[in-house]
Structure 1
Amino acid sequence: MEVALMSASRVLINGLALAQPMGGVRRHATEIFPRAAAILKAGGGSLSMLTPRSGLGFRLPGVELIRSNIGSSRVQRILRQKQALEEAIQGLGPIDLVHGGHLPSAGPKDLPMVHLQHDVRRQSSLLGRSWLKQAIQNAQAVITVSQATADEMARLATPRQLHVIHHGGDHLQRVKRSTPSKPFVLVPGHLEPRKNPLTAVRALAEDPSLPTMLFVGAVRGSMAQRMQTEAARLGVLDRVRYTGPIPDQELAELYATCSAVLLTSRLEGFGLPVLEALHAGARLAVSDIPAHIEIAPAEVPRFTPGSHQDCATALSQALDQAPVMGQVRTWDDAAKSLVGVWNSV
């Protein structure tokens, strides 16, 4: 698909909140922004990003990175981001629009803004809802990564333009499937409450025939300790393993060798591991939440979030059936859609 560069050929991204461990937000940034930069460059434009003082901690080829003097403190970012953006724009020269993806949003009043909302999990407070409503009202266009998130946002305000751009799912190398010597269920994602990993641990106790579960992702707070305590209480400690964050090649190999992939989240803006599992041809069981329903084929076994009994049943069904094949969108297509939104403003 060709993208006509009629406008917004010089874009500045507010990346002050992007220095974080690998997850959906960082994956989105690493995959879509370099591709968008290449599209803009082909039309004579450019893509720049304002970063924290310490940088991002990962590469974005083709994107000009501008380090601010703002540290990692959220309070510092909130208080100083508008001034930092204005200073960056003065240094860059003419800019067509500012693209942001965190709250509260900020940008010069004389420039169009595009706001990207990954999910609404932090908008349960009055302040969070106020920030999101303000971002929607101030933006010339709003992008969400799923219709589920778009529907949640619509309860607060009506954007001038609303675009749903699904993630790509082709970032991991497709590895030939093989059977490991010891079967295991892959549970990808940060260890945090909204990912609901305790349900997976309890499912092991519900069904002793289920394979060992391998949890892959960064630890948030005390969740790892809580999981270990629960696993010990239930007598399944020897069937629970952790790796922490791992390189993409290792993750691709785990998708290719696992008995199944299990996703237990209570809330997701998108649910990228669904696409990763489909891309790898892995068996899959998912919690029955809007984001998973939106992108997982109907044949994928589902279960009530938080119900370890339902989880065990769905996982057992997934293990007994052939892998479900689904169409996975590419990041190239996602980047073209993003540039298309920028051009529409």
Structure 2
Amino acid sequence: MVTLNFIVDQLTAEVPGGIGRYTENLAREVIRRAPHDCDVAGITSFVSDEQRSALLDRLPGLESVRMSRLNRKMLSQAWRRGMFTNSFGGGLFHSPSLLAPLRPLESGDPAQVVVTIHDIVPWTHPETLTPNGVRWHKAMLKRAWQYAAAVVTPTHAVAEQVAELHDFGDRLRVIPGAASPDIQLPDEAAQHDIAQRFQLPETFILAIGTLEPRKGIDRLIQALAQPRLQDAQLVHVGPEGWGEVDLSSLCAAAGVDRSRVRNLGYVSDAELAVVLDRATVLCMPSLDEGFGLPILEAFKAGTPVVHTDVPALMEVSQGASLHVGLGDEATFVERLSIALSNVLGDSELRETLTLAGQDRQPIYSWAYSADLVWQLHADL
């Protein structure tokens, strides 16, 4: 029996985030689609018995959960320095992030280690991370260049960016994500209750993400100040603040009435499904992204999308959305407001975008991604 050691540590983080969602969905399908002579074990830092049981419940079919004696912070710093990389022995390892026991082959039990890098934000927008976070990502990517059997990216766009940082040759592979199957509409009564509780407007722009600068939420709020969007309402899913920035200060700076911008904070999968379903348009005004999962989630919900021409977003959407170029900074806010106004005011355009998105979304599936994981390790 061959065991694939899948690093599921992100699921134990205080805020699992997008990588946590990627980890859970990919791990489920990797387990479900394992070849008949293979099984999957979970690898984590030190966790409580309750956390260990929760992982087994969340990932049905997981053969076991193997724990380090180090907590999450200590393990990430140890592996960054090349320490305790033999603690789980040899064999096959797959990490849905850069956290992995990367080491020279001659250092102990031979191991085939594959890691994942979702974007190069630590290089392009280091101000959105802590200094320690930036140093950790840069050090781990360098270790991956030295010791990883392969490096996975979610898009060809990110693969090209990573190749400019280090020459990985043919070790770079693209394995995309997909819309989460957990984001499903509840029954009609629950939908009504959620919409009432959130006081969702009849027509609104939806934005998903933190307020960090690269997400561009500040410029989306500036677009609301344009005359053509003077009546538009924005619903934001995610934390209301980031650092010293919050929605109230962004609205004040843009001259936008704060009542036009509603923050929902963190929401459940069912709540997100309702918000996506009722949104008139999803907007991703990002300066940089590695994949663009909200686009696929909006496509699945039948919601039109407007986003920037970030290469990864263009790759995911493939013409099934409207995009606004980042090139001319001076006119970006105005052009964003035009694109959003066109969608809000044109039912035929919305219908066209909805159909295009629903045709595009099924191309991405976690089953396909899991098959690519098994094929990659077989090839190696």
TM-score range, shorter chain: 0.7 to 0.9
The correspondence of residues 291-302 of structure 1 with structure 2, limited to 5 A, is 291-302=312-323
* 1:185 correspondence with 2:205: yes
Alpha-carbon contact 2:240-2:263 (below 8 Å) kept: no
SS of 1:322's partner is helix
SS of 1:275's partner is helix
Alpha-carbon contact 2:217-2:285 (below 8 Å) kept: yes
Where does residue 92 of structure 2 map in the other structure?
A: 97
Cα distance per residue 1:76-134 (max 9 Å; x no partner) = 52225765553333xxxxx5312234446533532111121111111357955454243
Displacement of 1:21 in angstroms is 2.7
Displacement of 1:281 in angstroms is 1.0
SS of 1:246's partner is coil
The correspondence of residues 14-163 of structure 1 with structure 2, limited to 5 A, is 14-18=7-11, 19=13, 21-40=15-34, 42-54=35-47, 55=51, 59-63=58-62, 64-73=64-73, 77-79=76-78, 86-89=86-89, 96-103=91-98, 105-108=100-103, 109=105, 110-123=110-123, 128-129=137-138, 131-155=140-164, 156-163=166-173
Larger helix fraction of residues: 2
Matched positions, count: 330
Pair 26,218 (structure 1): closer, same or farther in 2 beyond 3 Å = farther
- Identify which of 178, 186, 196 aligns with 1:168: 178
| Runs (5+) with no aligned partner, structure 2 | 127-133
Q: Quick one: distance in 2 between partners of 1:231 and 1:22?
A: 29
Pair 60,217 (structure 1): closer, same or farther in 2 beyond 3 Å = farther
Alpha-carbon contact 2:10-2:20 (below 8 Å) kept: no
- Identify which of 279, 283, 297 aligns with 2:304: 283
Pair 69,210 (structure 1): closer, same or farther in 2 beyond 3 Å = farther
Alpha-carbon contact 1:104-1:135 (below 8 Å) kept: no
Q: Quick one: distance in 1 between partners of 2:266 and 2:77?
A: 29
Q: Quick one: distance in 1 between partners of 2:216 and 2:206?
A: 14
Q: Percent identity?
A: 24
Displacement of 1:39 in angstroms is 2.0
Where does residue 372 of structure 2 map in the other structure?
A: 337
Where does residue 253 of structure 1 map in the other structure?
A: 274
SS of 2:30's partner is helix
Cα distance per residue 1:132-156 (max 9 Å; x no partner) = 2431342222211001100001112
* 1:231 correspondence with 2:230: no
Q: Quick one: distance in 1 between partners of 2:96 and 2:122?
A: 13
SS of 2:265's partner is coil
Cα distance per residue 1:160-200 (max 9 Å; x no partner) = 43221121225222689999753111111233222121111
Displacement of 1:217 in angstroms is 1.8
- Identify which of 334, 337, 342 aligns with 1:309: 334
Q: Quick one: distance in 1 between partners of 2:77 and 2:139?
A: 14
Alpha-carbon contact 2:235-2:263 (below 8 Å) kept: yes
Pair 38,101 (structure 1): closer, same or farther in 2 beyond 3 Å = closer
Pair 87,138 (structure 1): closer, same or farther in 2 beyond 3 Å = closer
* 1:322 correspondence with 2:333: no
Displacement of 1:29 in angstroms is 0.8
Pair 72,228 (structure 1): closer, same or farther in 2 beyond 3 Å = farther
Displacement of 1:36 in angstroms is 0.3
Q: Quick one: distance in 2 between partners of 1:104 and 1:317?
A: 43
RMSD: 3.0
- Identify which of 264, 268, 271 aligns with 1:243: 264
Alpha-carbon contact 1:286-1:303 (below 8 Å) kept: yes
Letter of the 1:259 counterpart: T
Pair 183,231 (structure 1): closer, same or farther in 2 beyond 3 Å = same
| Runs (5+) with no aligned partner, structure 1 | 1-6, 90-94
* Worse overlay, 131-140 or 119-128: 119-128
Letter of the 1:39 counterpart: R
4+ aligned runs moved over 3 Å, structure 1:
14-18, 54-58, 80-85, 101-105, 123-131, 174-181, 207-210, 218-221
Displacement of 1:273 in angstroms is 0.6
Letter of the 1:263 counterpart: M
Alpha-carbon contact 1:210-1:316 (below 8 Å) kept: no
* Worse overlay, 58-67 or 280-289: 58-67
**Of the two structures, which has the highest relative contact order with CA contacts closer than 8 Å and spacing of 6 or more?**
1
Displacement of 1:272 in angstroms is 0.4
Alpha-carbon contact 2:185-2:270 (below 8 Å) kept: no
